[in-house]
Amino acid sequence: MRRTPLYERHTAAGARMVPFAGWQMPLHYGSQLDEHHAVRERAGLFDVSHMRVADFAPTLAPALRTLFAFDIARLTPGQAQYGCLLNERGGIVDDLILYHRGEAGFRVVSNAGTRERVAERYAALLPASGWSLRDDVAILALQGPAAAGIMAGLLGREVDRWRPFTGQSQPGEGEPWWLGRTGYTGEDGFEIILPATEAGGLWQRAVAAGAVPAGLGARDTLRLEAGLNLYGADMDEATLPAQVRLGWTVDLDDPARDFVGRQALETVTPITHQCGLVLQAPGVMRAGQHVRFADGAEGRITSGGWSPVLSQSIALAQVPDAADGACEVSVRGRWLPALKVRPPFVRRAPRAPAPMSA
């Protein structure tokens, strides 16, 4: 079981450590609900050093244009792009964030659960040199409405004009830090990639500045409220981007750009799609539970849980395109009414999601 550079900080803070994708990670530091609310109302601090970081030289740009389903040629230095690495069948190998770092090249952050699979794809599809896997860095995510203020204090400079989905470098003790105004919570925030040896110091300073340590438990309920997919739950290699509301990340504009999976996407039409569900009765929806509609269509929940902000159970489900009419979910042996909605469930400030018309 692998440990991140912040392992000692977590145990010292009383974290409940759990195995996750081969890593020992903090589930929570006492109360997952408190950590969730801290991120929605103030600022939370996550250790996400288990994620896969890879760097690519600028010379690999042509190869990256055919590797990913989005087109890196559209990006200017500093921009970040969320999107997918597909297989030849158009299925999602992983979802990831790519940063254009100017002359430093490109940096990609992908999931922990797919570390080996993604590295395998890089090795199979890219030239032998010009890229590297970065197992010597740590990643901290500072998220929440107070994140910008804390960040400005930590960096000693203003961050007001720093736009969402852009990144900047910051001098460190050795290799510069890379900071993205990105995240996985639906809140404003930053993801900081820095040398493993400097992670403990930054963690300590961020906590001293008011950031609340938050574990994987809160990370999951926050991303679910924000309607963000979880790889391995909501999608896998048999899932096409359009089936999980990620069609917008696929760029088909340049007909000459023959990226991996393109031919499949242009010939296969999915017959299921993703919707959000809000339970209309007491109880909690969980992944794997069945969904049925008045017209007889049946689907399945891919992620479900409790929304601390709405105080209701919410879920993402994969349902047939034809699904129509009143919806019910089988929760522990009983069919309970649910409302079909368009995610996100919570957008920055708490508000009820709009009913899905289609």
Residues binding other proteins (CB under 8 A):
16, 27-28, 31-33, 217, 221, 282-284, 286, 305-306, 308, 313, 332
Helix H or strand E segment including 206: helix 196-208
Q: Which is nearer to other proteins, 139 or 226 (CB)?
A: 226
Q: Which is nearer to other proteins, 26 or 91 (CB)?
A: 26
Helix H or strand E segment including 32: helix 32-41
Q: CA-CA distance, 308 to 133, in Å (whole number)? A: 37
Query: Measured at the alpha carbon of residue 235, what is the angle toward residues 319 and 117, in degrees to the nearest 5?
Result: 160
Q: What are phi and psi of 203, to 5 degrees?
A: -55, -50
What's the closest the beta carbon of residue 283 comes to other proteins, in angstroms? 6
Q: CA-CA distance, 100 to 121, in Å (whole number)? A: 20
Contact 107, 54 (CB under 8 A): yes
What's the closest the beta carbon of residue 218 comes to other proteins, in angstroms? 9
Q: CA-CA distance, 28 to 270, in Å (whole number)? A: 38
What's the closest the beta carbon of residue 33 comes to other proteins, in angstroms? 4
Rg (CA), the chain: 20
Tally of CB atoms within 10 A around 18 = 14
Q: Which is nearer to other proteins, 18 or 75 (CB)?
A: 18
What's the closest the beta carbon of residue 157 comes to other proteins, in angstroms? 37
Helix H or strand E segment including 63: helix 61-67
Nearest Cα to 228, choosing from 186, 284, 187? 186
Q: CA-CA distance, 134 to 137, in Å (whole number)? A: 6
Q: Which is nearer to other proteins, 18 or 119 (CB)?
A: 18
What's the closest the beta carbon of residue 331 comes to other proteins, in angstroms? 9
Q: CA-CA distance, 226 to 186, in Å (whole number)? A: 5
What's the closest the beta carbon of residue 216 comes to other proteins, in angstroms? 11
Q: Which is nearer to other proteins, 154 or 291 (CB)?
A: 291
Q: Which is nearer to other proteins, 31 or 204 (CB)?
A: 31
What's the closest the beta carbon of residue 339 comes to other proteins, in angstroms? 18
